[in-house]
């Protein structure tokens, strides 16, 4: 088995599939990248048992065969190399399934051990639900929801993003119990019956890095236990989170008589500055008429900060405490020039929304308030 290609082509393919290789594994097969050569195409495959990534690259060869190479060994070699023509020639040992990969470039000769053991087999699944979503919209959903996912292993459902498909609308939801994001997009196809899946945050993080500018399809298997993302040369398949997602609609307040509209850039910068003066990471926001205040203090060090910003506020005067980082994160994921804050009391959730002139909101970010000492 022998093939020729370039270091750059191999680097691009290996950098994609290695995202599926676990940092630590009790199964040696999961430490490998499996390479299958056939019809001038080198197909690379890696998995951790739940997530698998397949990538293809063109090579010069008429041979065929399959080997497995330790992923980190191959990655370290390719990272250390400059872009040049490279030849891989695989030699099988006379005993067992072990072999040696002889690598030749214009300046050197290298050897890496390999095995001829077949790759971990994946079950054949029927992916019957296809989601019609533009690549830019999928990336936008991931960017706007991923930050709010929980990292608490005791609540596995919240460690992913809930996708709801109904009609021509896709709704994506993420929450960690202290904040919640709901993002809606239009799809290019219609789903007759409402469907729900929970995609692990890790999978979406990989998709964000893996398929930044590629046309990509998203399909779900008939048992609603696996999802597949596929582009021209890359395929990612993963198990879904099967635990039921919390009833997020119950925590989104419907009646908010107090509404505040402010320049997003002004309040974002103000929260970043003022929040640094807090001893425990919280701050207070108060609003009345056309003026809002952002305040924080560190009583033990004798530090405090207060900034005043112009705004449009309707309702009775209110003062609410927040985790400064949660407010900062919410504002950084809103793209409009102005942001709307909807609230009812100092102890109920506050909704942050983009302020549009014409179209309806497709994004809401809910932030729970914190108790403040007067």
Average pLDDT, the chain: 91
Q: Is the pLDDT assigned to residue 177 strictly greater than 90? A: yes
DSSP H or E segment with residue 262: strand 258-263
Among positive and negative, which fits the CA dihedral 143, 13, 6, 113? positive
DSSP H or E segment with residue 140: helix 135-145
CA 11 to chain centre: 23
What Å distances lie between residue 53 and 206, 222, 230, 246, CA to CA? Answer: 10, 20, 10, 30
Q: Is the pLDDT assigned to residue 374 strictly greater than 60? A: no
Please answer whether residues 322 and 328 qualify as being in contact, where contact means their C-beta atoms are separated by less than 8 angstroms.
Answer: no
- Span 317-325, average pLDDT: 95
257-304 pLDDT, tens digit per residue, is 999 999 999 999 999 999 999 888 899 999 998 999 999 998 788 889
Please answer whether residues 97 and 119 qualify as being in contact, where contact means their C-beta atoms are separated by less than 8 angstroms.
Answer: no
108-143 pLDDT, tens digit per residue, is 999 999 998 766 666 678 888 888 778 888 899 999
Q: Is the pLDDT assigned to residue 180 strictly greater than 70? A: yes
212-269 pLDDT, tens digit per residue, is 777 888 999 998 999 999 988 899 999 999 999 999 999 999 888 999 999 999 999 9
DSSP H or E segment with residue 266: helix 264-275
127-250 has which fold? DNA Polymerase III; Chain A, domain 2 (3.10.150)
Using a pLDDT cut of 70, give the percent of the chain over it: 97
Q: Is the pLDDT assigned to residue 92 strictly greater than 80? A: yes
Place 317 in a pLDDT band, splitting at 50, 70 and 90: very high
Give the phi and the psi of residue 137 in degrees, each rounded to 5: -75, -35
Q: CA-to-CA distance for 318 and 312, rounded, in angstroms?
A: 13
Fold match between domain 2-115 and domain 127-250: yes
139-165 pLDDT, tens digit per residue, is 999 999 999 999 998 899 999 999 999
- Those residues whose C-beta lies under 8 Å from the C-beta of residue 253, and which sit 6 or more positions away, are 342, 344, 348, 349, 351
DSSP H or E segment with residue 75: helix 71-80
For residue 361, the model assigns a pLDDT of 60
Q: Residue 80, CB half-sphere, CA atoms under 13 Å: how many?
A: 9
Domain borders along the chain are 2-115, 127-250, 252-367
CATH classification (class only), 252-367? alpha beta
By C-alpha distance, which of 270, 310, 267 is closest to 288?
310
For residue 373, the model assigns a pLDDT of 67
Using a pLDDT cut of 90, give the percent of the chain over it: 72
For the segment(s) 2-115, the CATH number from 3.10.150.10, 3.40.50.2300, 3.90.380.10, 3.60.15.10 is 3.10.150.10
Q: Is the pLDDT assigned to residue 41 strictly greater than 60? A: yes
Q: Is the pLDDT assigned to residue 189 strictly greater than 70? A: yes
Place 93 in a pLDDT band, splitting at 50, 70 and 90: confident
By C-alpha distance, which of 285, 268, 249 is closest to 329?
268
191-211 pLDDT, tens digit per residue, is 888 999 999 999 999 998 887
Please answer whether residues 245 and 198 qualify as being in contact, where contact means their C-beta atoms are separated by less than 8 angstroms.
Answer: yes
Tokens 């460690």, located at residue: 159
Q: Is the pLDDT assigned to residue 73 strictly greater than 80? A: yes
């Amino acid at each position: 088995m022998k093939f020729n290609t370039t270091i750059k082509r191999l680097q691009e393919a290996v950098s994609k599939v290695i995202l599926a290789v676990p940092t630590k594994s009790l199964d040696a097969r999961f430490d490998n990248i499996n390479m299958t050569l056939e019809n001038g195409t080198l197909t690379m495959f890696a998995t951790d048992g739940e997530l698998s990534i397949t990538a293809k690259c063109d090579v010069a060869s008429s041979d065929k065969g399959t080997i497995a190479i330790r992923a980190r060994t191959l990655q370290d070699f390719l990272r250390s190399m400059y872009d040049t023509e490279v030849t891989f020639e695989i030699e099988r040992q006379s005993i067992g399934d072990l072999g040696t990969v002889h690598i030749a470039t214009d300046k050197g000769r290298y050897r890496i051990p390999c095995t001829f053991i077949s790759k971990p087999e994946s079950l054949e699944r029927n992916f019957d639900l296809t989601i019609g979503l533009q690549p830019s919209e999928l990336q936008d959903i991931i960017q706007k929801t991923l930050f709010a996912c929980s990292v608490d292993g005791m609540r596995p459902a919240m460690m992913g993003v809930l996708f709801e498909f109904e009609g021509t609308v896709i709704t994506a939801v993420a929450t960690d119990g202290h904040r919640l994001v709901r993002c809606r997009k239009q799809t290019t196809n219609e789903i007759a019956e409402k469907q729900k899946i929970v995609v692990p945050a890790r999978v979406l993080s990989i998709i964000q890095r893996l398929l930044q500018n590629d046309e990509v399809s998203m399909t779900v298997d008939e048992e609603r236990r696996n999802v597949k993302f596929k582009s021209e040369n890359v395929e990612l398949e993963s198990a879904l989170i099967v635990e039921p997602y919390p009833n997020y609609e119950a925590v989104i307040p419907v009646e908010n008589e107090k509404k505040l509209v402010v320049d997003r850039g002004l309040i974002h910068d103000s929260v970043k500055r003022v929040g640094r003066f807090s001893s425990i990471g919280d701050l207070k926001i108060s609003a009345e008429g056309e003026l809002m205040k952002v305040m924080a203090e560190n009583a033990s060090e004798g530090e405090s900060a207060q900034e005043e910003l112009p705004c449009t506020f309707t309702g009775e005067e209110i003062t609410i405490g927040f985790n400064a980082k949660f407010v900062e994160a919410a504002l950084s994921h809103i793209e409009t020039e102005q942001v709307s804050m909807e609230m009812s009391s100092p102890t109920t959730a506050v909704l942050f929304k983009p302020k549009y002139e014409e179209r309806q909101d497709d994004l809401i970010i809910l932030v729970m308030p914190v108790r403040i000492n007067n």
